Amino acid sequence: MQIHYISENNSILNHFLAEIRDVNIQKDSMRFRKNIERIGEIMAYELSKTLEYKAIDVQTPLGVKHTTTIADNVVLCSILRAGLALHQGFMNIFDNAENGFVSAYRHHPNNDDSFEILVEYQAAPSFENKNLILIDPMLATGQSIVAVLNKLHLEQKPKEIHLAVVIAAPEGIAYLEENLPNNCHLWVAALDEKLNEKNYIIPGLGDAGDLAYGSKL
């Protein structure tokens, strides 16, 4: 698996990352969603550099410009519900992409800290020979992403698989490397220290879904 860390050099990305973590700023859910969306736009731009392009001629009012445009077909697929704001950022950049949505959540059958990942809903187009970009803001254990890909990837073979996450824990990255094929690309906006005993990212930012859309039962 190829891993791309995109906040290693200073840019406006680090400003947005700081704001989604800040306990005094992240309380504003509209600003939190907008910052996640902005991060998605930056990640989409960086990812776009690795896609295939084709030469075209564009007729302008004064002449013809020889340039390039994306040759690859792209499918954006986000994990509900936390992935929606990040999905919007990617969709702002890849405005011709097809879109898919899938649910995945931690189920605690014994009402304790142990859990299993349940994937119960999906609405996605074909991604045969297309670039599949799977979007989820938090990479904690990595189990959700693997479970979703196993459900989506049963019969269809994407040209490439890109995984886009805002904040990742080393444990989650290691799990993906053990369970996903080598031709996957992982795009990480920020790498954090570790998981705690409840498998939450430290220092992280809290629950991205709750911060964006309110607490759930």
For the stretch 158-202, pLDDT in tens is: 999 999 999 999 999 999 999 998 889 999 999 999 999 988 999
Per-chain mean pLDDT for the chain = 91
Tell me, what CATH number does 118's domain have? 3.40.50.2020
Q: What pLDDT, in 10s, does the model give residues 67-118?
A: 999 999 999 999 888 889 999 999 999 999 999 999 876 655 666 666 667 7
Which pLDDT belongs to residue 150? Answer: 83
- Interval 53-63 mean pLDDT: 98
* Tens digit of each residue's pLDDT (9 = 90 or more) over 6-40: 999 999 999 999 999 999 999 999 999 999 999 99
Instruction: Name the band, by pLDDT with cuts 50, 70 and 90, for residue 148.
Output: confident
* Over residues 130-155, mean pLDDT: 88
Say if pTM beats, i.e. exceeds, 0.85.
yes
Give percent above pLDDT 70 in the chain.
92
Counting runs of H as helices and runs of E as strands, what totals does the chain give?
6, 14
Place of tokens 């074909």: 126
Q: Is the pLDDT of residue 58 over 90?
A: yes
Q: How many domains does the chain have?
A: 1
Q: Report residue 104 as tokens.
A: 């995945």
What pLDDT sits at residue 82? 84
What pLDDT sits at residue 182?
Answer: 85
> How would you label 84-101 residue by residue, b for 16+ Cβ within 10 Å and e otherwise?
bbbbbbbbebbeebbbbb
For 116-136, what is the mean pLDDT? 86
Structural domain containing residue 11: 2-213
